[in-house]
Amino acid sequence: MSWTEKNNQLSKTFEFEDFTEAFAFMTRVAFLAEKAEHHPDWSNVYNKVEIKLTTHDADNTVTEKDRKLAKEIDAIKA
């Protein structure tokens, strides 16, 4: 499944076996985000993680920074 681009953001929902698997994934995304100094707007309920990416410094539009982070996040889950 690919990311959806709408309202100037990329979004995607990831689903896991349970909460701890979801949170371990979030931990890996957190490392990527912190390294890129580009942080997601994200939420979690039990085994679901919804990630939204936009670039605040570019008037909240989708930029190359978002596409790069999206690709790196997909690589974790793969």
Q: How far is the CB of 9 from a second copy (least distance, A)?
A: 12
Decide: is 20 part of the binding site for a second copy (CB under 8 A). yes
Q: In the range 30-49, which residues lie near a second copy by CB under 8 A? A: 30-35, 39-46
Among 28, 65, 67, 68, indicate the residue that binds a second copy (CB under 8 A): 28
Specify the 3-state DSSP secondary structure of 49.
strand
For residue 19, what are the CA distances in angstroms to 55, 57, 60, 65? Answer: 28, 32, 30, 28
Stretch that binds a second copy, among 1-9, 16-24, 59-67 (CB under 8 A): 16-24
How far apart (Å, rounded) are the C-alpha atoms in residues 58 and 65?
10
Question: Which positions touch a second copy (CB under 8 A)?
Answer: 19-21, 23-28, 30-35, 39-46
